[in-house]
Amino acid sequence: MESSKNGLFVTYRLADPLVAELLLLLRRVAETRLAEVERLNQEFHAAREPLQLSQQAGPRRRVRKRRMQGH
């Protein structure tokens, strides 16, 4: 990376155009991985059965009880 200073401002330039190509490739890889993670997340949530109301009440009750006790 190259830089030049003009008063309070500093301008940075890439020392080699290959750096820009590398950054673009890294971005493409990250976007591909992100799409895959999102797909897996959706599949995971679709496969889970929704909690029954009775299953949800227990944890809520415990949280409320802890809050009332000052924890």
Say which residue, 13 or 55, is predicted with more confidence: 13
Predicted confidence (pLDDT) at residue 49 exceeds the cutoff of 70: no
Query: How high is the pLDDT of residue 22?
Result: 94
Domain assignments of the chain as residue spans, ordered by start: 2-68
DSSP for the chain? -EEEEETTEEEEE-S-HHHHHHHHHHHHHHHHHHHHHHHHHHHHHHHSPPPPHHHHHHHHHHHHHHHHTT-
- pTM score, two decimals? 0.42
Say which residue, 24 or 58, is predicted with more confidence: 24
The set of residues, in sequence order, having a beta carbon less than 8 Å from that of 53 and lying 6+ positions away, is none
